[in-house]
Structure 1
């Protein structure tokens, strides 16, 4: 029997339920939606979670489509899922947890008697620690962004190669191999010996069908490659970046981009122009070095010094 909260499944069974983590402001108990898919045959354990940032919904779309497709009769091992981590942020479509104003994916491994986010992180990390592999599904919030997988443990970490392999297997086409901030699940779990990555499934308001389908494909690639399912994974070479250059607006106005997501840029290439509402030119921003146009703001208006876009640097094929 494998259990998460109220969800329990014997070999060959699937069950869903709730993982209790506290009470809302009116004193009502609440829990995170969880699923257990327990294969008929023994094997590894995969942990998947989504929406630790409450407005990043593409991962929820992936979970919604993956779990019904998992047949425990064909599965070796177990898949554990927390479908919505940032419960409070999800309810109001906000990035941070509105109860404590904290970004939940900065609070791992959490604390069972800490803030709201720390309690959620502690409860979900107890589940994650039972796994052999972890997928923490994200997206670029409301930015426009490439579909990518982030390796966050750092290139000197003892599990770096295993995390990088997991990122390639997931196969979004792009990998960011850059040490992440403290408190990220993909930083913390490798310290406990668990290869972990966070797929960043594009960026949008709401959810995006293309990114969701790519995420579903990625999960099944992982299940096939690591012998949960008896089929071959569809592996392809990935474009890997070692870091970012961030660009802000030198003037207030409307942004017009000269490149598209995924374009290769060279040093000196125009990235964007700033104009008045009447189309009068105010500034032109060029690339400081070569790379891949990786991420950009969605809305065209920007104030002086406001973030506009990012270029992935240190590009290689993996």
Structure 2
């Protein structure tokens, strides 16, 4: 049973901004707690939309946009309930790291969590066991973080149920990002979006630039997209949405072949910019060994054709690092 506690009343009308406290007793603090920011805005009888950001602590557009939203939004403009977790992986957000400095875990590989496990596992358990059952829809805002720069895009999490899959696609298209991409994380079941889909929630993800910085373009897409999704579900006035341009095509990362992994350590030199069209077998770049200049750079090649969707940031790599990601046309049902 979870020991997490909050003073937030999820059923109360109005705006509440507070925390979820998870008891934490490290060397520096015998009876302290890890505090996870939480806001609830409720009014009227509409659906519940859960907005999450800070799943990874080095991805900044989502936390900025959700912090602004919870401060600015008038409850009178809401029809339903918005649950906001703007920095859900607070230890990682504080440290600006993908993984938690407390236990070294990647929150987005711990779902559905463990209420008696480490801090990261307790956070994912609280989201899985307390937050998700309250929701009708779930939005998880990501970017490429400090290790990738990704074309700003809204993400479709696959769903086996065709009705839910259709609703996911419609909601992701309503977000209005420049690109729409299907990403299943190679079938990984331990992500927040995969868990939300299993729970039956309409699920929307994003990848909004990255490279360890705040992209002004991606932040604008995020701000607009969150409000578009809330309008799509009728939680905000549908007339307030920015009409999304329907993408020419939905893309997907084509399994293992969509990832170019480093076969050696060194510094990766990409041969193509983000958005470039490439083909399977084409040279993607090369890895230089800077401390052994007599050694020839090692060329790496694309395993699939499509567009360059994500690229390594920074340049230094070790064996197994993702250097480039390719997105190809999605051949599943769209309309």
TM-score, structure 1 normalization? 0.87
Answer yes or no: is the 8 Å Cα contact 2:279–2:302 preserved in 1. yes
The Cα offsets for residues 287-318 of structure 1, whole Å up to 9 and x where unpaired, read as: 34320101111223445664311111234695
Further displaced range: 52-61 or 172-181: 172-181
- Within the candidate set 203, 207, 226, 1:219 is matched to 226
Query: Is 2:166 aligned against 1:161?
Result: yes
For 2:54 and 2:326, the matched residues in 1 are separated by: 25
Query: Is 2:253 aligned against 1:243?
Result: yes
Further displaced range: 52-61 or 213-222: 52-61
For 1:304 and 1:37, the matched residues in 2 are separated by: 46
The Cα offsets for residues 116-151 of structure 1, whole Å up to 9 and x where unpaired, read as: 222111222312221111001111121111112222
In the TM superposition, residue 281 of structure 1 has moved relative to its aligned partner by: 6.9
Indicate the SS of the match to 1:48: strand
For 2:271 and 2:211, the matched residues in 1 are separated by: 20
Query: Is 2:283 aligned against 1:291?
Result: no
Q: How does 1:29-68 map to 2 (within 5 A)?
A: 29-39=33-43, 41-68=44-71
Answer yes or no: is the 8 Å Cα contact 2:260–2:301 preserved in 1. no
**C-alpha RMSD over aligned residues:** 2.7
Alpha-carbon spacing, 1:82–1:122, altered in 2? closer, same or farther (3 Å)? same
Query: Is 2:177 aligned against 1:172?
Result: yes
Alpha-carbon spacing, 1:69–1:114, altered in 2? closer, same or farther (3 Å)? same
Alpha-carbon spacing, 1:10–1:154, altered in 2? closer, same or farther (3 Å)? closer
Answer yes or no: is the 8 Å Cα contact 1:14–1:35 preserved in 2. yes
For 1:18 and 1:155, the matched residues in 2 are separated by: 34
Further displaced range: 185-194 or 258-267: 258-267
Answer yes or no: is the 8 Å Cα contact 2:182–2:330 preserved in 1. no
Aligned to 1:197: 204
For 1:183 and 1:195, the matched residues in 2 are separated by: 17
Aligned to 1:88: 91
Query: Is 2:135 aligned against 1:128?
Result: no
Query: Is 2:193 aligned against 1:186?
Result: yes
Which consecutive unaligned segments of at least 5 residues does structure 2 have?
none
Answer yes or no: is the 8 Å Cα contact 1:169–1:225 preserved in 2. yes
Aligned to 2:141: 137
The Cα offsets for residues 225-266 of structure 1, whole Å up to 9 and x where unpaired, read as: 211122343222234223241113456554333322122223
For 2:288 and 2:180, the matched residues in 1 are separated by: 33
Alpha-carbon spacing, 1:306–1:53, altered in 2? closer, same or farther (3 Å)? closer
> How many pairs align?
313
The Cα offsets for residues 172-194 of structure 1, whole Å up to 9 and x where unpaired, read as: 22223232412111111222211
More helix by share: 2
- Within the candidate set 72, 76, 83, 1:73 is matched to 76
For 2:95 and 2:78, the matched residues in 1 are separated by: 36
Further displaced range: 89-98 or 304-313: 304-313
In the TM superposition, residue 153 of structure 1 has moved relative to its aligned partner by: 3.5
Further displaced range: 144-153 or 211-220: 144-153
For 1:179 and 1:156, the matched residues in 2 are separated by: 15
For 1:308 and 1:187, the matched residues in 2 are separated by: 25
Q: How does 1:267-278 map to 2 (within 5 A)?
A: 267=280, 269-274=282-287
Indicate the SS of the match to 2:77: coil
Answer yes or no: is the 8 Å Cα contact 1:261–1:294 preserved in 2. yes
In the TM superposition, residue 107 of structure 1 has moved relative to its aligned partner by: 1.8
Alpha-carbon spacing, 1:304–1:67, altered in 2? closer, same or farther (3 Å)? closer
Aligned to 2:6: 5
- Within the candidate set 193, 205, 216, 1:209 is matched to 216
TM-score, structure 2 normalization? 0.83
